Amino acid sequence: MEIKDITGIIGSFLSAASILFAVYTYKRNEDRNSFARFRLAMVDYHHFVKKLDAQLSEPVFNEIAFSIAHELQETFTTDISVDDLIAALKDDENKANYARQAIHQGIRNAPAHEAIDQIIESLDRLPIEFSEQFPVVSGIISKLNFYANRSAIGILSPKVFNQILCNRDAVEKLLEPELRKAASIRMAYLEVGILLGAIPRALLEKSVQATVDDISALVQILVTTFSTLSDAELRVQSKRQKNLAAKLSSIDHKTAIEDAFEYFKLLQETFVDDWDHIVEAKTRLYENSTKKA
């Protein structure tokens, strides 16, 4: 073999090696960028859950009360009497429907309601962004979102308020006595808002806040664990989770928290230091969800 042939072979080898190195470098840079986005998404997730928790608070219920009062005044004006408003709420079917529509519109128009809708939209979109790269973590977040979103949607749903608005006895026993104390029709509108705003407040204190607290605790564990992993550790996690992805479709329990817990178990050694806390939060969420059912 001549020298020029050997030189050609070496040149081809070096060229191939440089291409492989370029591909390797590109892949590493892509991994670095995608892992950075994943860490940021995990921090965002924690932020969104905290924002949702903050929205379910006293100022929000006051805001809803004023929004209801505004819509009632827009619908009935200030020309009617308190007696007329009470009659509209409990006697005449058409007027009662107008009142209910105004109240529900007031709830929908409250800025807090829109803010909650936007947070829920962000929570739902977030796990989709890395579902291919980290399918198990994505699955856990999707299941936890079920409880976070249901907590927010549930206490502001029309069904909650209709338990009073569509119940003549409830109107007579709960609303009418307070409305008769109102000094003016404007104050009566506000009183309706305050009384109805007490409904989600009571639900929050009774059960919803406990659910949000447990979800927040699980989110804290999840985010702290994965947002602090190195690129090398995330690379191993990604490969492992892709291999586990097929198992996710076979996990189908009656409650979302049971599914989430099974997903956690697939990565149990990753959560060794926090496993007892995960089990405790899962137990409380399961008991609350089956109790409501």
pLDDT per position as a tens digit, 31-44: 688 899 999 999 99
What's the predicted TM-score (pTM) here? 0.78
Is position 15 within any domain? no
Say if 5 falls within a structural domain: no
Mean pLDDT of 38-65: 86
Is 226 inside any structural domain?
yes
> Does 94 map to a domain?
yes
Q: Of 106-110, 150-154, 177-181, 210-214, which gets the smallest average pLDDT?
A: 150-154
Provide the number of structural domains found in the chain: 1
3-class DSSP string for the chain: CCHHHHHHHHHHHHHHHHHHHHHHHHHHHHHHHHHHHHHHHHHHHHHHHHHHHHHCCHHHHHHHHHHHHHHHHHHHCCCCCHHHHHHHHHCCHHHHHHHHHHHHHHHHHCHHHHHHHHHHHHHHHHHHHHCCCCHHHHHHHHHHHHHHHHHHHHHCCHHHHHHHHCCHHHHHHHHHHHHCCCCCHHHHHHHHHHHHHHHHHHHHHHHHHHHHHHHHHHHHHHHHHHHCCCHHHHHHHHHHHHHHHHHHCCCCCCCHHHHHHHHHHHCHHHHHHHHHHHHHHHHHHHHHHHHHC
Position 247 in a domain? yes
In a domain, 76, yes or no: yes
Confidence label for 26 from pLDDT (cuts 50, 70 and 90): very low
Is 34 part of a structural domain of the chain?
no
Instruction: Output the pLDDT for position 288.
Output: 81
What is the reported pLDDT for 261? 95
Q: What range does the domain containing 272 cover? A: 40-292
Residue 167 lies in a domain: yes
pLDDT digits (tens, 9 = 90+) for 86-104: 888 876 566 667 778 888 8
**If you average pLDDT over residues 174-189, what whole number do you get?**
90
